[in-house]
Amino acid sequence: MKPLEQIFPAERAARYREKGYWTGETFPALLRERAERFGDRTALVHRDTRISYARMAEAAQRFGAGLLAQGLKPGDRVLIQLGNTPEFFTAAFGLFAAGMIPVYALPAHRRTEIEHLLTRSEACGLIIPDKADGYDYRALAAELWDVVPGLKHVIVAGDPAETGFAAMAEIDGDPATLPEDPDPQSVAFLQISGGSTGLSKLIPRTHDDYIYTLRESARICGLTPDSVFLAVLPVGHNFTMSSPGTYGAFYAGATVVLGHSPVPDAAFPLIAKEGVTITALVPPLALLWLDAAERLKPEIPTLEVLQVGGAKFLSESARRVKPVLGCTLQQVFGMAEGLVNYTRLDDDEETIVTTQGRPISPDDEILVLDDAGTPVPDGTPGHLLTRGPYTINGYHDEPGANARSFENDHYRSGDIVIRRADGYLTVQGRAGDHINRAGEKISAEEVEDHLLAHPGVFDAVVVSIPDAHLGERICAFVKPRDGQTLKPVELRKFMRARQIAAFKIPDEIRFVDGFGITAVGKISRRQLRSQLRAEVLADE
């Protein structure tokens, strides 16, 4: 197995410890400590089930010990593909307790993504639901079992049926067998990147660096043990997990309510019933909530903070949050690679609606550079580069991507931002070629590769188009092979058959005879994408 590491240069690591950012706390210790301190208080609410901190910790520790009894070892990597259910936390914290490394996949991922993540992370285990939203995850696991040689343990939260896989409920062991706590500077888990080129990369986060963001996020977002955080976005996503998300809520001893659906009809009653104080949405959902609230005038007086992040929230929409929902808007501009910016709850309204916040840490170093790499003055757009106490210094096992994304000890996020003199950032756009579709980051290159696999496709170029509902939609330009006639429905069917996450299938497919490029010489795909995007915008 390739070793997992996240190496912060010694001088910076020493500084982060000295300044008290890194405290040496680890996830297994956090779980024990919260169980002692908050014992009977409610950690998790899921439909009619309420789980106390003590019970959550016990379930996780017994599950972790059960994994050891099954032959898994500390250091083993296990992919978790679970939805917003308590088992997600039993699995993740159980793995932490056993010194194992969770790798977080999303429920929307299909065979292509899961196979890639299993292989890349060299995971020996996979934890799945039986069925969810009409999809049978056991069938997917059965297919993977035959093709991923390293996969030795499939664990089903629910009914394994005839698969022969283990039932999560039966994985049980004695917590006394759990190992010592890990080194706080070691990698705690692998988060996945939004992939600007090709498939997702693995992001190794350490106990020290992630727990620092949880502590500070909980403080910045005003969490107390009386707070109630509603998770409607997938809990495996870094935003929902850590900004402050479910893990930040646990850090603070607050209650997490797991929502099944982000639509207002489901979420508003849940907020009222559980007294939710804070929740997190991506911009398209925030718009849906605003429109619904104008019509329905829901009674949700407990909701104090609505966080919006993952994609740009336009200021016209941002301005509606307070009058329509009666709560404070908090914009969140973060990335699984590290850096997270928040507008502060007591910021003036103009800052809240027009910026995406400022960094968590005084030691988040921000560079805004022009194309030539020279710093631009405040107020001028430029490329965001950053380093700091919780931003990674490299992806796992990705020499090519690391050479592109890291420069002079800084991470290049691919975002174009404007910095104000007081450090607040406004996101202007993006330098890279990913599509931000309702907060899901999709690599144009990856979608092109799937289209090119079709025998009738000669060439394909995929671009993002601004969209009133999704923020951005995926538009594919396809040049068929000579003599071939293709239909969008056929290409979509073909892509689905390749078993990829549905959010990667183009919203719009346009057939072209060629790409209208007359310039002599080779034009880069990036130039081609921006030219095609400009043509669509001119048409609309």
Residue in 487, 385, 389 with CA at minimum distance from that of residue 13: 389
* Site membership for ligand J2J, residue 410 (CB under 6 A): no
Residue 415 lies near ligand J2J (rule: CB under 6 A): yes
Q: Pick the piece of the chain touching ligand J2J (CB under 6 A) from 95-103, 135-143, 166-174, 325-333.
A: 325-333
Nearer to ligand J2J, 61 or 413 (CB): 413
Q: Which of 43, 171, 190, 332 forms a contact with ligand J2J (CB under 6 A)?
A: 332
**Considering only residues 334, 382, 389, 480, which one is a binding residue for ligand J2J as defined by CB under 6 A?**
334
CA–CA distance, 232 with 157 (Å, rounded to integer): 20
Quick one: three-class SS letters along 17-72? HHCCCCCCCCHHHHHHHHHHHHCCCEEEEECCEEEEHHHHHHHHHHHHHHHHHCCC
Q: How far is the CB of 124 from ligand J2J (least distance, A)?
A: 26
Contact pick of 94, 160, 173, 194 for ligand J2J (by CB under 6 A): 194
* Length of the chain counted residue by residue: 540
CA end-to-end span of the chain, whole Å? Answer: 51
User: Least distance to ligand J2J from the beta carbon of 174, Å?
Assistant: 36
**120 contacts ligand J2J (rule: CB under 6 A):** no
413 binds ligand J2J (CB under 6 A): yes
Q: Which amino acid makes up residue 282?
A: V
Shortest-Cβ-distance residue relative to ligand J2J: 334
Q: Record the tokens describing residue 380, joined without a space.
A: 């001028």
Question: Considering the complex, what minimum distance in angstroms separates the CB of residue 507 from ligand J2J?
Answer: 19
Cβ atoms within 10 A of the Cβ of 194, count? 22
Segment contacting ligand J2J by CB under 6 A, of 46-54, 305-313, 321-329, 518-526: 305-313
Structure token pair of residue 311: 């994609």
In the complex with ligand J2J, which residue's Cβ is closer, 194 or 506?
194
310 forms part of the interface with ligand J2J (CB under 6 A) = yes
Q: In the structure encoding, which two tokens stand for residue 523, read together?
A: 């034009």
**For residue 467, what is the enclosing H or E element?**
strand 457-467
Interface with ligand J2J, residue 441, by CB under 6 A = yes
Give yes or no for residue 311 binding ligand J2J (CB under 6 A). yes
> Least distance (Å) from ligand J2J to the CB of residue 234?
11
Phi, psi torsion values for 247, nearest 5 degrees: -70, -35
Q: For the chain, give the longest Cα–Cα distance.
A: 72
The reply on whether position 239 binds ligand J2J by CB under 6 A is yes
67 binding ligand J2J? (CB under 6 A): no
Q: How far is CA 297 from CA 182, 265, 288, 323, in A?
A: 49, 12, 13, 11
Which residues in this chain contact ligand J2J in the complex, by CB under 6 A?
Answer: 194, 238-239, 242-243, 309-312, 331-336, 340, 356, 413, 415, 427, 430, 436, 441
